[in-house]
Amino acid sequence: MTDNADHNEHKTDLRRQAERELAARGDRVPTETEEIERALHELRVHQIELEMQNEELRRAHIDLETSQRRYWELFDLAPVAYFTLRPNNLIVDANQAAARLLGHERAFLRSRPFSNFVGPNEIESFYGFRNRLLKTHRPCSCELTMRQAENGRFLIARLDGLALRDDQDNITELRLAATDVTEQRQAERALQAAHDDLERRVHQRTAELARTVEELRRSNADLQQFAYVASHDLQEPLRMVTSFVQLLKIRCGDKLPGECYHYIDVAVEGALRMQALVKDLLDYSRLTTRAQEPQPIEAADVVAAVLENLRMTIDETHARVDVGELPAVLADPTHLLQVFQNLIENALKFRSEAPPHIRIAARRADGWWQFDVADNGIGMDPQYFDKIFVIFQRLHNRQKYPGTGIGLALCKKIIERHGGKIWVDSQPGQGTTVHFTLPAA
């Protein structure tokens, strides 16, 4: 009803415009009767109406052609492949991108079943996709393998489709947009293959590392047990050797040639060094076999106990020991005592001609306590800073500075077992400062 009313109103407007134009022309047809004059007037009005309608139709036709040309250019020059299909699967039209995608001329594609260009193993998938389009009012999508004519190769295409319907909800055509996703899928497969290979290698490497760690754990346990047993069992034979060699010197006395006394002294000295080495090895092995859980302990009490143990050496060397305010830390009491004992013994041993001056201090450092044990001894060259923490490494000859070369290695292992760090600052002739960190209590 609304359309008819609009049409009648439009005709009325045209008639009024035609009458105005006719009046403006001022044409008069000489007639004998008013009827003929009115008839001619009506004819002229209708003629002008038709002319105006024709002009409107011509302009509408031009607009329609312009719109169609614009649509066609957009459709034909679009970079995405577009297909228009009848509901029975026949191709109505395809743009240039679609022709390039399949490697055929556009004329060849028209009126051919779209399924002709689908990979043989994907026909069922395509018809399933088409049936979804026919049954739903929503856009649908799928991925299919499609065949190119130029080289016979297959490509992977993503199809996005929509079914167009008329006023009675009948499907008039299907519109498809096809995108070549072959390179993308190949890249994804390559990436997935690389990921799977990497994951396989990681699992393989993890298993190998787990086996290696287990072997190292067993090996370390065996070595620690061996070191402990060997060190423990060697002590008694060494004591026997030392005792009997010294007894030989006492009993035989003047019955031995003069050089034999020297040999006996060398043997006793070697046995005593061996005893010291065995003791240090035993201490080193006990770091893991007899370690205690860290507990809050006053570092000042530990240092006081060490100074009492070394009282005789301190007095003999006229050493001065300054101890600052020391905090409580989380540590194994026995191991912490070993650290301070080794560091203070080294400060007393590697002294210069001046009486030893040892300073022990502590300061807070990022939630930890940093301890500094400084002396005024002979010092060392910085190139040896790492070497001194390696077991059995010595910088000086045994005659001048006796020792086993285990002390600082023992300190390093203890500190690292507590999660801390140990390092040294020194220059030849300017003394040495050993720093180490421990967790606060």
State whether 341 and 418 are in the same domain. Answer: yes
Secondary structure of residue 423 in the 3-state scheme: strand
State whether 302 and 266 are in the same domain. Answer: no
- Return the beta strands (E) in 112-230 as ranges: 140-147, 154-165, 171-180
State whether 298 and 413 are in the same domain. Answer: yes
Residue 10 pLDDT level (bands cut at 50, 70, 90):
low
Secondary structure of residue 365 in the 3-state scheme: strand
What's the mean per-residue pLDDT of the chain? 83
Instruction: Please indicate, yes or no, if residue 298 is contained in any of the structural domains.
Output: yes
Phi/psi region, residue 360 (left: phi>0; alpha: psi -120 to 50; beta: rest), is beta
How far separated are the first and last CA of the chain, in Å rounded? 94
**pLDDT tens for residues 105-126?**
989 999 999 999 999 899 999 9
- Of the three residues 120, 147, 180, the one that is the final residue of a domain is 180
Secondary structure of residue 425 in the 3-state scheme: strand
DSSP state string for 315-339:
HHTT-EEEE----EEEE-HHHHHHH
**pLDDT tens for residues 193-249?**
999 999 999 999 999 999 988 888 887 777 667 666 666 666 677 777 778 777 877
Instruction: Please indicate, yes or no, if residue 195 is contained in any of the structural domains.
Output: no
Question: Residue 337's closest CA among 267, 283, 384?
Answer: 283
Instruction: Please indicate, yes or no, if residue 193 is contained in any of the structural domains.
Output: no
Instruction: Please indicate, yes or no, if residue 33 is contained in any of the structural domains.
Output: yes
In degrees, to the nearest 5, what angle opens at C-alpha 178 toward C-alphas 176 and 183? 165
- Of the three residues 290, 305, 322, the one that is the final residue of a domain is 290
Instruction: Please indicate, yes or no, if residue 275 is contained in any of the structural domains.
Output: yes
**pLDDT tens for residues 124-174?**
999 999 999 999 889 999 999 998 876 678 899 999 999 999 989 899 999
State whether 298 and 432 are in the same domain. Answer: yes
Pairing type for strands 422-426 and 432-439 reads antiparallel
Instruction: Please indicate, yes or no, if residue 196 is contained in any of the structural domains.
Output: no
Positive/negative CA dihedral, 8, 9, 14, 18: positive
State whether 62 and 99 are in the same domain. Answer: no
State whether 313 and 435 are in the same domain. Answer: yes
Write out the two tokens for 59. Answer: 């302009």
State whether 281 and 306 are in the same domain. Answer: no
Helices (H) and strands (E) in the chain, counts: 11, 12
State whether 231 and 364 are in the same domain. Answer: no
**How many domains would you assign to the chain?**
4
- Of the three residues 76, 101, 125, the one that is the final residue of a domain is 76
The one-letter code for the residue type at 80 is V
Instruction: Please indicate, yes or no, if residue 47 is contained in any of the structural domains.
Output: yes
Instruction: Please indicate, yes or no, if residue 51 is contained in any of the structural domains.
Output: yes
| 310 and 321 Cβ atoms separated by less than 8 Å | no
Give the global pTM: 0.45
- Give the model's pLDDT for residue 142: 95
The one-letter code for the residue type at 128 is G
Q: What integer is the mean pLDDT of 22-44?
A: 67
- Give bridge partners of residue 83 from the DSSP assignment: 94, 176
**pLDDT tens for residues 357-389?**
999 999 998 889 999 999 999 888 888 787 788
What whole-number distance in Å separates Cα of residue 178 and Cα of residue 250?
A: 108
* Structural domain range at position 296: 292-439
